[in-house]
Amino acid sequence: MAETPLHFRTITEISAAIATKQVSPVEITTAMLQRIDALDGQLKSYATVMADSAMAAAQKTEQEIDAGMSRGPLHGVPIAVKDLCFTKGVRTMGAAKVLADHVPSFDGTVIAKLKSAGAVLLGKLNLTEGAMGGYNPEFDIPKNPWNPDRWTGSSSSGSGVATAAGLCFGSLGSDTGGSIRFPSAACGIVGIKPTWGRVSRYGVLALAESMDHVGPMTRSVADAGIILEAIAGFDENDPTSLPTPVPNMLARIGQDLQGIRIGFDENYATNDIDPELAEAVHAGVEVLGDQGADIVEVQVPDVDEYVSAWPTLCSTEAVLAHAATYPSRREDYGPWFRGWLDMGAQVTGAEYAKANNLRAACTGHLRRVFEGIDVLVCPSMSAPPHRITPKILYGRYDARDPKFQRFTVPFDYNGAPTLSVPCGMNSEGLPLSIQFVGKHLSEPLLCQVGHAYESATPWHNLHPDV
C-alpha cells in the first residue's frame, strides 16, 4: 500500500486500513475533498460537491467504528454518484436545464442503501443531458484524465473521470445503451452493469425504463462487487426489482477458472474492430485459458440489424420519461437531447412495435449462444476513446454505425449482467477494455472471472497522471 497514493487505493485496501486504524474516515474524506478542490476545476467530474455533509458523515462513521460498530467494507469509504440519483436536499439535475432546481425530498433507494452501508457521499457527478449522448451547453463536460481531447464515454462520464482520476474510491453510473461500459472503457476502470432488476431504479431519473440499469464503477473487480452487493436487492418501491436474495458477490473471488466455459466468437469480437483492441481481447482470452477456463468457440449472430432498433426504443421511452417538461419546455433542452426527444415524439406505435420485435429476436438469438457456455467474452466498445468535437458534444443526434453499440445494446435488450475490465493500453496511451457477459444473476461468477483476469494482468494498476 505504501507504493500506491491514498487516492488510488482500492476500496478493499481503504476498508482494511480503516479497520486497522491506519487511517480514519475523517482523514480520508478530508484528503479526497482537497484533491477534488485541487483538480476538478480542470477535470469537471463533479456537478455538486457535498463537502459539509461528507465531513459530517465521515465524523459519524468514525465514531461508529471507534465504538466497535462495523457496517461492512464501505463503512467510512468516500464515494460519489451520478447526478441521476435522488439525494435528499441536494440538487439532482440529470445535466438538464429543466431540472436545474430539482431538489428531491427523499433519497433514492441506491443512495439510502449506500448510506446504510456507511459510505461517505462526496457528491454528485456530471453526465450528458438526460443520460443520452450530448451535453447541455450550460453544464460542464468532464475531461478524460488520460487525454482531455478524447471521449469520456458519454452518459456516466463524470463517474468514469472521478473514479479514474482518484477523486472518489468508486461511483455509481447507469447504462441504457452502454453508459457504464463506455466510460469504464474510455477511462480505464472497472464497471458492472448488473442484471436488469438486480438494483432498484426508484429515485433514479429515467431515460428508457425498460433498459435502464444502475451499477458500480471502480478501480478493481472486487470493489465493484462490494458496491453492487450494497445496492442490490428487492425494493417495494420498484416493482421491476427482482425478489431474488442478494448473494455474496465476492464468494468466488480467488477461485481458479477450472470447468468454467468461456465463449468466444472471433468474428464478433474482432471483425471491423480497432486492431490494437482486437489484439488485446485475443490476449485476454489466452489469459483466461491459462487460468484454467475452457475456451469454447461460439457463433454470435450479426446483431447490427437489431442494434439499429435501439434509437427508436430509447427515444420513444425518453419522451415518456420527460413528459413533465417536454414538449412544454422544449427550448430549455440542449440541441442534442432536444433532437433526441423530437425524434422519439415522431415514432408511431407500429414503429415502436417493430423495434420491440427486433429486440425480442436479438434476445432469442443470444439465449441460444449461451446454451453451452457460462460467460461470453468480447470488447466493451469497438475502439479506444475517439477524439471529441463540438458537434459530438452539442450537435443534434446523427445515426451511429451499429458497431458503435454492438457490444453494449444487445445486453441492455436482454438485461444480462456484464463486467468491463481494463485489458491494455494502445500505442497512443489510451486504455482498452475487455467485457465479460454472463447469464442473468451470475454477477458472482463474473467477479470470479474478472478477478482472475485482473490478478494475471497489470492493467488495473495503471492510473492517469493527474
H or E element in which residue 436 lies = strand 431-438
Phi, psi of 148 (to 5 degrees): -65, -10
Burial 168-191 (b: 16+ CB within 10 A, else e): bbbbbbbbbbbbbbbbbbbbbbbb
Q: Which is the catalytic residue, given 157, 179, 184, 433?
A: 179
Catalytic status, residue 156: no
Catalytic status, residue 179: yes
- Distance from C-alpha of 233 to C-alpha of 255, rounded to nearest angstrom: 25
Q: Which is the catalytic residue, given 155, 157, 184, 241?
A: 155
Catalytic status, residue 82: yes
Q: Which residue's C-alpha cell is 429486440? A: 359
The answer to whether 291 touches 176, Cβ cutoff 8 Å, is no
- Tell me the β-bridge partners of 261: 294
DSSP string, 67-99: TT----TTTT-EEEEETTB-BTTB---TT-GGG
Q: Which is the catalytic residue, given 24, 44, 82, 241?
A: 82
Would you give the DSSP letter of residue 271? Answer: T
Phi, psi of 443 (to 5 degrees): -55, -40
Residues making up the chain, counted from first to last: 466
**Which residue, among 82, 220, 81, has the nearest Cα to 164 in the 3D structure?**
220
Active site residues: 82, 155, 179
